[in-house]
Amino acid sequence: MSKILLNSFFAVFLFFPIVVFGQTELDDDNDNELSNGDTHETLQGAGDSGVYQHTGNLTFKDGLDFVNKLQMSTTPGIGGADDTYSNYVIIKGNLTVESGATVSINNNGLLIITGDLIIQGSASFHNSGYFIVMGSVSGSGTIDNGSGGSALPAYIAGDVENSDIIADADVDSPANIADNTVNNILDFEDVDTSLPVELISFTASKTESEVKLNWSTASEENASHFEVYVSKDNKNWDLIGSVDANGNSSTRINYTFSDDEDYQTTVYYKLIQYDFDGKNETFGPLAVQFSNDENTFTTAVFPNPSNTGNTSVQIGGMNLGATTTLQLINREGKVILFDTIDSNNITSAIYQLSDKVELKPGLYVLKVNSGVLQDTKKIIVQ
């Protein structure tokens, strides 16, 4: 009997340090604030190993320099037990970063915010550092992902209220995270990164009397509706309409929306798709030039570099009535994609490369022609 009890004691003792004692409250004085000089302002080294979490809304106060130098890790399960994960930070609620507060995530570090981010200060993350926000981002602060060769995008599931916040950072959906450890941690924490809608295309067509927006989805899950927004400066957005989504579908569905306002200047359009749980995803923006003097042919690739191959091309200022062509060339000089966009009245579009061709790790050259206009971009898939 005593032998059985002793074995049970050791089993419990060995199990609980990983699952229970590895969880540490980030806000150790439980005031829902982290301030300069608090115990967990800087996380680094073996002495700080573990999972740092906070449930509920949290504020990083003015003067705080929060630094996460922990290297996220996996401990394989023994004897069929589940793997366990350590050395990351998760805030299960909204995070407010006050003006004068800074957030720094070092290489191989991980910060997860399951709610919204309200940022008045600054946040930066270095090569292979993960900054994940499952809600929306607002404020007047900045997010910077650095300039290294393996710099990752900011993974934001919701809307970014002000484009100036991410002026120095690429943005991608958490659904496109390729790192197995990060995805396993998100699963372990019950953070759902799946997308309710798979967008195939999003275009803007200009006529004499209106702008017509068209978009198509390849699949929908639990999708409620789309909200349509317009902006004259790509910063401040006005809601101009709503279109009901199909809800659930595995086939292509086409949508359209018309705006008959005469702006006489360049305007921007974006979609925000909402599901029935309140989660949302943003598509765009698309630029539409109402004056020929402002009509400039531009292309942009995002994310670039890409860790998953899920890459999109944003094309603006297409020649009306001309055919726009896309050529994608691999490192060996082989054309692996040739496609056309009938630009009859279409001035701008978002084109999903990953829906047309599988992009394996490597270097690619994209050539986009619209009439006599041409632009070339290099694309890197890591």
**Cβ atoms 206, 345 nearer than 8 A:** yes
DSSP β-bridge partners for residue 368: 326, 375
Give 353's Cβ-side CA count (13 Å radius): 33
Please state, as a whole number, how many other Cβ atoms lie within 10 Å of the Cβ of residue 148.
12
Angle value at C-alpha 322, between 321 and 324, nearest 5 degrees: 135
- What global pTM score does this model have? 0.59
Residue where a domain terminates, one of 123, 158, 188: 188
Listing DSSP states for 139-192 in one string gives SS-EEE--SSTTPPPEEE-S-BS-GGGGTBS-EE-GGG---HHHHHHHHHTT--
Same domain, 273 and 337: no
Q: Are residues 283 and 304 in the same domain?
A: no
Peptide bond into 76 cis (omega under 30): no
Instruction: Give the chain's domain count.
Output: 3
Domain end marker among 159, 188, 217: 188
Question: What proportions of the chain, in percent to the nearest 5, are helix, strand and coil?
Answer: 10, 45, 40
Residue 250 belongs to a domain = yes
CA torsion angle 110 116 119 122 (round to 10): 10
pLDDT of residue 292: 55
What is the extent of the structural domain holding 34? 22-188
Residues of the chain with pLDDT under 70: 1-22, 147-150, 167-169, 195-196, 291-295, 321, 342-344
Residues 105, 205 within the same domain = no
Residue 10 lies in a domain: no
Q: What is the pLDDT of residue 293?
A: 56
Residues 205 and 70 in one domain: no
Q: What is the pLDDT of residue 379?
A: 87
Q: How many angstroms separate the Cα of 67 from the Cα of each of 30, 43, 103, 170, 334?
A: 19, 6, 6, 21, 45
The β-bridge relationship of strands 142-144 and 122-125 is parallel
- 244 and 347: one domain? no
Q: Could you give the CA distance from residue 64 to residue 37 in angstroms, rounded to a whole number?
A: 8
**70's tokens:** 């922990």
Tally Cβ neighbours within 10 Å of residue 322.
17
Q: Is residue 122 part of a domain?
A: yes
Domain end point (choices 259, 289, 319) = 289
168 and 65 co-located in one domain: yes
72-to-48, 51, 90 alpha-carbon distances in Å: 12, 9, 12
Phi–psi pair at 215, nearest 5 degrees: -145, 155
Q: Does the residue 6 lie in any domain?
A: no
Residues 6 or more apart whose Cβ sits within 8 Å of residue 78: none
